[in-house]
């Protein structure tokens, strides 16, 4: 190859990095990847489709030399110090105007720092969230770019080419200033945590009524053909069919109940408190994953208190409640995440366009679902909507499921089945629709013990009372 022959470079040729490059190559771009592991370089080249221009190299300087100017380089390396290490290695090799992209799951505060650091050196830096897993990277992910808008225009043709398409529209758009891309991806992952928790609770509730894995497969398959259509419901249906190669049993039954995490859900919960914005379904999902790790304690507690769920409904009676409860709670999970993005857009000056966010999430990503079409319409009607629950169409959908949602939570409590995600969704809904909450009492308590003052409903200003003096 001659010098300056390649359109795009990738640092880190794990499955995600390799698949993204191959996706670009299939769309007519010449791509080059760098990895210290020679086997990964070889795997990149051997996986390329016939007629595409794909190269793997073991020297970073060689890759940079072979890129067209302005150079466009993406990193797919672990978040944290490895990203800073790669940037340090890149800087002596780059020229002003080159574009550096972090495509991993970095915390947005690190992205803010890196944007400023490289801007001072006249290097464009972008944080881009990529969702869809290994398959999505190869065939069409959801892409969430933020940061330098000029840099986005340089990479936009490539990103639009490789992104998932919904009705011909690429699932990629410029999503805001500075660290917005990684912020949107962080919240995406928080919503993902929430919906996975809600589905797992539905699984527990239906199992308590005697549902077999074969029945659960059919239930989720049917749900995926209706108003619960989503990627996570689809794969849940498929999970119940998978057999374990070692034992021949259903694989789901031999998988440990200790769930891991990579931290992005926790970041969503933590950062929501900094704004502050209430995201209790996401908070609950994070907490329940943590609780799943208390395996020995849970087993000891089960010996003391018992852990049997006592179903008081038949499976046929329970199914409509679980269906409607899952739809209700899923809407609440999206609502909380989107409300967080709305507030962050203002408070952190990221200028995140919510209509584009829900449009980008419609295809390719883990939380894609038919509900996002409803939300897209809501934001088309009111682009500055602070909470999708205030949209009349969304409100009508929520209210149509409210009765069964309440019945489901009642069933869960009476049967002894943990359904914390659904319970927190309902509690949020009831608090959000309450014109006067009981927090006037909390104001009084705070002033009583700490002289923190309070506000009144009839007179403006701040007040303090010497409590107990009468």
Active site amino acids: 185, 192
d(CA 77, CA 104): 6
Copy the structure tokens of residue 227: 């108003």
Q: Residue 233's closest CA among 95, 330, 311, 354?
A: 330
Q: Are 195 and 232 in contact (CB under 8 A)?
A: yes
Classify each residue of 316-354 as buried b or exposed e, where b means 16 or more C-beta atoms within 10 Å of its C-beta: eebbebbbbbbbbbbbbbbbbbbbbbbbbbeebebebbb
Copy the structure tokens of residue 37: 């592991």
Q: Would you call 454 helix, strand, or coil by DSSP?
A: strand
- Helix or strand run (H / E) with residue 407: helix 392-415
Q: Are 449 and 468 in contact (CB under 8 A)?
A: no
Considering all CA atoms of the chain, what is the largest pairwise distance in Å, rounded to the nearest integer?
90
d(CA 369, CA 434): 29
What's the DSSP call for residue 276?
A: T
Which residues are CB-contacts of 6 (< 8 A; sequence separation ≥ 6)?
30, 31, 32, 53, 55, 63, 66, 67, 68
Length of the chain: 470
**Residue 60 Rama label (left phi>0; alpha psi -120 to 50; beta):** alpha
Which residues are CB-contacts of 290 (< 8 A; sequence separation ≥ 6)?
none
Q: What are φ and ψ of residue 55, in 5° steps? A: -140, 140
Q: Is the peptide bond before 97 cis (omega within 30 degrees of 0)?
A: no
d(CA 352, CA 148): 13
Copy the structure tokens of residue 395: 């409100």
């Amino acid at each position: 190859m001659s010098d300056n022959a390649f359109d795009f470079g990738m640092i880190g040729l794990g499955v995600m990095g390799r698949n993204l490059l191959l996706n670009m190559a299939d769309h007519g771009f010449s791509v080059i990847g760098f990895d210290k592991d020679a086997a990964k370089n070889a795997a990149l080249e051997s996986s390329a489709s016939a007629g595409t221009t794909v190269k793997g190299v073991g020297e970073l300087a060689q890759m940079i030399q072979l890129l067209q100017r302005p150079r466009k380089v993406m990193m797919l390396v672990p978040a944290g110090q490895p990203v800073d290490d790669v940037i340090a290695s890149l800087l002596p090799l780059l020229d002003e105007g080159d574009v550096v992209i972090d495509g991993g799951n970095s915390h947005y505060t690190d992205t803010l720092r890196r944007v400023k650091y490289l801007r001072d050196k006249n290097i464009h830096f972008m944080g881009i969230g990529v969702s869809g897993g290994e398959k999505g990277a190869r065939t069409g992910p959801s892409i969430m770019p933020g940061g330098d808008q000029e840099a986005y225009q340089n990479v936009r043709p490539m990103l639009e080419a490789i992104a998932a398409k919904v009705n011909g529209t690429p699932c990629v758009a410029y999503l805001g200033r500075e660290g917005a891309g990684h912020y949107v991806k962080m919240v995406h992952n928080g919503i993902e945590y929430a919906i996975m928790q809600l589905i797992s609770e539905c699984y527990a509730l239906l199992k308590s009524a005697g549902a077999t894995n074969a029945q659960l497969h059919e239930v989720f398959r049917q749900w995926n053909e209706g108003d619960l259509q989503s990627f996570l419901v689809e794969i849940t249906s498929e999970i119940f069919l998978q057999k374990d190669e070692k034992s021949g049993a259903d694989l789901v039954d031999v998988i440990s109940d200790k769930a891991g995490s990579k931290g992005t859900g926790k970041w969503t919960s933590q950062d929501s408190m900094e704004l502050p914005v209430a995201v209790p379904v996401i908070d609950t999902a994070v907490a329940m994953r943590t609780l799943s790790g208390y395996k020995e304690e849970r087993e000891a507690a089960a010996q003391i208190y018992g852990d049997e769920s006592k179903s008081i409904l038949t499976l046929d009676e329970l199914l409509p409640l679980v269906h409607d409860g899952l739809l209700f709670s899923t809407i609440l999970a999206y609502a909380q995440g989107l409300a967080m993005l709305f507030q962050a857009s203002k408070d952190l000056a990221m200028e995140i366009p919510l209509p584009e966010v829900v449009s980008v999430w419609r295809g390719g990503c883990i939380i894609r679902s038919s509900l996002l079409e409803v939300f897209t319409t809501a934001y088309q009607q009111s682009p500055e909507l602070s909470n999708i629950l205030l949209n009349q169409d969304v409100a009508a959908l929520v209210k149509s499921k409210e009765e069964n949602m309440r019945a489901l939570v009642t069933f869960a409590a009476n049967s002894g089945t943990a359904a914390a995600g659904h319970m927190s969704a309902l509690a949020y809904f009831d608090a959000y629709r309450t014109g006067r909450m009981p927090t006037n009492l909390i104001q009084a308590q705070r002033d009583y013990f700490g002289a923190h003052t309070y506000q009144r409903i009839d007179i403006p200003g701040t007040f303090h009372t010497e409590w107990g003096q009468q």
